[in-house]
Amino acid sequence: MNTLNNTNHQNNLKWGSRPVNEYNGNLKEISNYISVFKREPFKRGQVENKRFDTIINHSKDDMPIATVSKSYSLIQHSEILDFIRIAFEKLRYDIDKTTCDLYLTEYDECMWLKIQFFTDSAFLPTDGYVLIPQLHIRNSVDGTTPLNFDLSWYRLVCENGFMLLDTKSRLKKHHTKFLKPDILIEYLDQNITKIEKEKEVYENWEKKELNPHTDLEILQNWIDTVVSNKWGFNKAERVNCIIETGQDAKIRRFNDWNNEENRKKSMVSLSLEETVPGARPAENIYDVANALSWVASHHNSLPKQYKMMLEVPEMLKKLEKHLKF
């Protein structure tokens, strides 16, 4: 198994202000990194708080994690993995063939698990870079993040992906004693067909070629308004750079103190950074989608990364509307 801790991670991943560790392997292997949590009375000596309990990480020397209300139902990360195993077995998905990326905060209280599975439904676009269905599971044992299930397409070449376009196909469950594996089995059973149908969407995006004489100005305006308003100037410029060159960029704002006229003006410098794997100067909507997904899925804040990934489909809808495809 390949294990990366936060200090070695190239993006220095964070969950809020908390460092994040990353682990890779199949579903069985990554279960070795899942901690066991317990709840205890929140007290000092014999004095007990009647409203709150303490969550501790039993696997890490009973490290205190958080306080939660007495009514809070603790759903262990390990329980979620058990749900997944049961669901995959019933739906005849081979867990040995899964590829997982597990993200855990420093004391393991928050988890984001990405599972590549159902490889028989892989989609091969005309650019030759395969997309594989991926299941996202987010959970916390400190009450900060409800249990979430999402489906997406994962692009192997650049480690980014497209969230399922049907926004109703996201499952969010607050912690309750009545959670059962059946909810995941039903979710996958209902939504795997939806993700299959999305192949047609990506095929259509590839066919929607950008006309250099009429569409580039519209595309630039969309970046300056829709993308910039949603993600800010710096990320909009990165998207624009990938679309134009196939390379990501580092954007820096500064004041030119050597020039009297420019001292009070915010200057911008752009330097090309890494080549985005599988990227090229955009020829169609699919290329634009890949640029957006790269910037979204490579944010070093995992909550912001997740939020941005969910915003990509709506921005693309607005671009298609502007281009009148």
User: What are the DSSP calls for 176-220, one per residue?
Assistant: -TT--HHHHHHHHHHHHHHHHHHHHHHHHHHHSB--TTTTHHHHH
Task: Name the token pair of 253.
Answer: 């704002």
| Strands 18-25 and 47-57, sheet pairing | unpaired
Res 5: pLDDT: 35
Instruction: Report the first-to-last Cα separation within the chain, whole angstroms.
Output: 46
Rounded CA separation 80/225 (Å): 40
Rounded CA separation 159/138 (Å): 18
Q: Are residues 181 and 293 in the same domain?
A: no
- Confidence band, pLDDT 50/70/90 cuts, at residue 271: confident
Structural domain includes residue 141: yes
Structural domain includes residue 295: yes
User: Of all residues in the chain, what percent carry a pLDDT higher than 70?
Assistant: 89
Structural domain includes residue 210: no
Q: Are residues 198 and 222 in the same domain?
A: no
Q: Are residues 287 and 317 in the same domain?
A: yes
Q: Are residues 116 and 188 in the same domain?
A: yes
Q: Are residues 124 and 247 in the same domain?
A: no
Q: Are residues 16 and 127 in the same domain?
A: yes
Q: Are residues 196 and 172 in the same domain?
A: yes
Report helix angle 181-207 to 77-90, nearest 10: 70
Question: Does residue 51 surpass a pLDDT of 90?
Answer: yes
Rounded CA separation 204/201 (Å): 5
- Confidence band, pLDDT 50/70/90 cuts, at residue 319: very high
Res 184: pLDDT: 86
- How does DSSP assign 71-95, residue by residue? TPPP--HHHHHHHHHHHHHHTT--G
Q: What is the pLDDT of residues 91-134, one digit of tens each?
A: 888 888 899 999 999 999 999 999 998 888 889 999 999 999 99
This prediction's pTM: 0.87
Average pLDDT over residues 180-185: 82
- Confidence band, pLDDT 50/70/90 cuts, at residue 246: very high
- Confidence band, pLDDT 50/70/90 cuts, at residue 19: very high
Shortest CA distance to 151 belongs to which of 141, 140, 130, 166?
166
Range(s) of the domain holding residue 50: 3-203
Contact 303, 16 (CB under 8 A): yes
Task: Name the token pair of 84.
Answer: 């997944």
Q: Which of 24-28, 90-94, 270-274 comes out lowest in average pLDDT?
A: 270-274
Contact 103, 33 (CB under 8 A): no
Number of domains forming the structure of the chain: 2
**How many contiguous H segments (helices) and E segments (strands) does the chain have?**
8, 14
Q: Are residues 110 and 191 in the same domain?
A: yes
Contact 278, 290 (CB under 8 A): yes
Q: Which residue has the tokens 């192949």?
A: 199
Q: Are residues 185 and 130 in the same domain?
A: yes
Q: Are residues 192 and 268 in the same domain?
A: no
Structural domain includes residue 209: no
Structural domain includes residue 208: no
- Confidence band, pLDDT 50/70/90 cuts, at residue 202: very high
Structural domain includes residue 77: yes
